[in-house]
Amino acid sequence: MPALDSLMKALGKKYTGVNYEGAIHGFLRAQNDPKATRDEVEEAANLAAAKDAWPRTVAFLKANLGVK
């Protein structure tokens, strides 16, 4: 993440990187991934990440695309 942060700043881009504790990569779509056994801790972390990330994403898109 530090390299990405530096690159985005150098390019003058708006960027906020967030690492969600316990959430896996692709946490927004992970709910559809079939698994042999459930990992309730991972599921809870993914849900918490999604609840925080989705409103942030919508707000970013509205602010940067002029959508109301």
Q: Report yes or no on whether pTM surpasses 0.85.
A: no
Is-contact 53 20, C-beta < 8 A?
yes
pLDDT for 49:
94
Is-contact 47 54, C-beta < 8 A?
no
- The SS3 call for residue 66 is coil
Confidence of residue 7 (pLDDT cuts 50, 70, 90): very high
Q: pLDDT of 12-62, one tens digit each? A: 988 888 999 999 888 887 667 778 888 889 989 999 999 999 999 999 889
pLDDT for 55:
95
Percent of residues in the chain assigned helix, strand, coil, to nearest 5? 55, 0, 45
